[in-house]
Structure 1
């Protein structure tokens, strides 16, 4: 009989364990509810993180687009400004070169006119003797003609430049020149003694 008793007791314990597993108590249900809420909270946190990441990526995208737009604007302005500056530099360099040439021409004209001026200022017909008057006038007229010719050439040349006002619009006033001038000078040279003697005779006659 003792073996039968042990067998019955074993069956009771097993049944009790099966009953506990199939009918969980309040504590087990609470733990399951807590697990669901924890998962919900974790999912909510994950969603918030994803939302922050999306917003961060959107900000980065907008920043990149803004930077690209600014870069394109700068490149366009850089190209336009570079072309404008380059063309202006070329024009300025060309202007400087032309100014240098123009200045060199003006300096040559100044030196030429100064030389003619010095020669003309040295001519003093009143100080010439009668014997040297004809030859002196011949040389003086040649000097004056040369100066007048170069003045006329310079005035014509600079009339088409920025320095046209240096001549104040004046034109060369030609000295007596050409065949008439030569005939006049030659006639004066040949007839000057006669003119002088006639003048002296007239003065003597009038004095008497």
Structure 2
């Protein structure tokens, strides 16, 4: 499917849900990025919740306030981007002002701007364009310039999409040094989606 969508941008109050509930509610929502090259979008199929400052896996653990985490202390619905291993990752700020929590968007199902996404990723298999947090930002054109913006308006925004019938959950990925937090089942995904990250591992646990 390509071209513009008729989906409505989600309102501010959508983001005022408790973080774990919001992480599940984001599944099926449409992530849209407008750029000079064109518009690309995808339905969110996998998320991870980070509930600081008590979550050892969260950047804001211990109420850590730095130049990078400053946006996490803002209102829910802001955009938190950061770079890891040269890849930009995108998060939805949650928890409310002075309560630094966030939700990492781990994977999306490509929806519009497919030709543009393929050019950016340089591979033919659509299932591999956006099946990871660094892959999806490259495919959609999300950059550090989006840091601090709001998901409620262009150029990067979230719109109502298609609600999944079944949601699975399990431990988050890549946080082995986070103590007991590594075992929290705060990763959520659309059951059976072929676009989630680390598909074999997730499906076996689902």
TM range (shorter): under 0.3
- Relative to its length, the structure with more strand (as a share) is 2
Higher-Rg structure is 1
Higher-RCO chain (CA-CA 8 Å, sequence separation at least 6)? 2
Query: TM-score, with normalisation over the residues of structure 2?
Result: 0.19
Report the structure, 1 or 2, having the larger helix content. Answer: 1
TM-score (norm: length of structure 1): 0.19
